[in-house]
Amino acid sequence: MSIALDATHDPKLRSWVASANLPGGDFPIQNLPLAVFRRAGGGENFRCGAAIGDCVLDLGALDMLSPFGGLGAEALAACAEPSLYRLMALGREAWSALRRGLSECLREDAPRAAELAAALIPQSGVEFRLPARIGDYTDFYTSIHHATAVGRLFRPDQPLLPNYKWVPIAYHGRTSSLGVSGQQVRRPQGQIMPRGADRPQLAASARLDFELEVGVLIGTGNGLGRPVPIAQAESHVFGLCLLNDWSARDLQAWEYQPLGPFLAKSFATTISPWVVTLEALAPYRLPWSRPAEDPQPLPYLDCGELRAHGALDLQLEVALETAAMRARRAAPHLLARTNFRHSYWSIAQMVAHHTVNGCNLVPGDLLGSGTQSGPTPEQAGSLLELTAGGKRPLRLESGEMRTFLEDGDRVILRGWCERPGCARIGFGEASGSIV
């Protein structure tokens, strides 16, 4: 489960790409996240790229220059396609070899820097698409703080159901409506039961919400009928991204019993374009623990590696930009900031539980963490919590009020890892607008 630190993590490393060395940036040489991109507006084919500073390193163009050999070269060749699928399927050794090769190519003393610079494209001039064809999407419910707060709104007498502390709860989501950052979301309609009414009506959602989540992209899969042991679970994880599971709370309140989310969730999900590998996040590992007074996980969800370094110190935030702010070129309003370390269930536990019944995961499958809320009110990852179900409207810095999202609103998710003595590892952003 743990990944040893090596030369690619050295905080003293600098790149010949000057923008990668600026303090506070998301994409230093120690990060090297991957995405699928092309130049905007030109009709080019999509291909794989790595972020370095404010540029994208075109991995297809880099492959033609044969900058390194061995397993790294095989991994680089897999990146000449319009999808990360082939690379995902190669496994952790190949991912690590590619990371080492890219790191050596981009260091400030790299002998072929001038030649390789031809493969750089400014990020400001590219467009992205999903990193791979996502065959299946499962959304978990791993934040006990979110589960308790939402449960208190829906079930005041029993906020947290008795199975929550024993089993990682999840539902199977819709992949056809997944989109990459910049997605335009049309306000959904569905059945809504108005307060005090005796029959539902078909209407557009008036309680549209975001959910601040972490996405987990599967690399190598497991065979049908072959569960993944928890100590091996993270070797199947290619990397992480940001995820916004848009939610229509009025549709959800009427339809969620007895089988859970349906139309309230299936209309849109937005992820960030950059996939940050678990290897890049290795310096930010933390011990995972469960409060002593809570039930401890069943054996298939517990192991020494999990306890030693199964959590991540990943900071998350969500901001809102209204149409009025945009017109005045005002900065978005910060709504909440929290940390993935507060998650009750870990990445490894999600994978182990998902496969314990024999379910087969395949390269490109996506797992959502569920809304990541922290223990304090200002760390809530949804408007449902921040406004107490709409009872306490938020006043934005622009003077506008919000209970739920309005047309023209743009929601921006950001994530990063940062602490003294380590390079900052950023995720970029996942944004989406209500049109």
Contact 264, 173 (CB under 8 A): no
Active site residue: 9, 145, 146, 333, which one? 146
Q: How many CB atoms lie within 10 A of CB 68?
A: 18
Phi, psi of 392 (to 5 degrees): -125, 85
- DSSP label at residue 26: S
Alpha helices in 155-301 (DSSP H): 249-255
Contact 307, 288 (CB under 8 A): yes
| b/e per residue 322-357 (b: at least 16 CB within 10 A) | beebeeeeeebbebbbbbbbbbbbbbbbbbbbbbee
Contacts of 259 (CB under 8 A, 6+ apart): none
By three-state DSSP, how is residue 91 classified? Answer: coil
> Any idea which residue has 């959904």 for tokens?
188
Q: Crossing angle, helix 70-78 and helix 92-106, to 10 degrees? A: 100
Contact 277, 91 (CB under 8 A): no
Closest alpha carbon to 194 in 181, 207, 185: 207
Contacts of 413 (CB under 8 A, 6+ apart): 210, 212, 242, 243, 244, 272, 316, 317, 318, 429, 430, 431
Contacts of 66 (CB under 8 A, 6+ apart): 73
Phi, psi of 79 (to 5 degrees): -90, 0
Active-site annotation holds for 146: yes
Contact 385, 410 (CB under 8 A): no
**Which residues are bridge partners to 368 per DSSP?**
139, 215
- Write out the catalytic residue numbers: 146
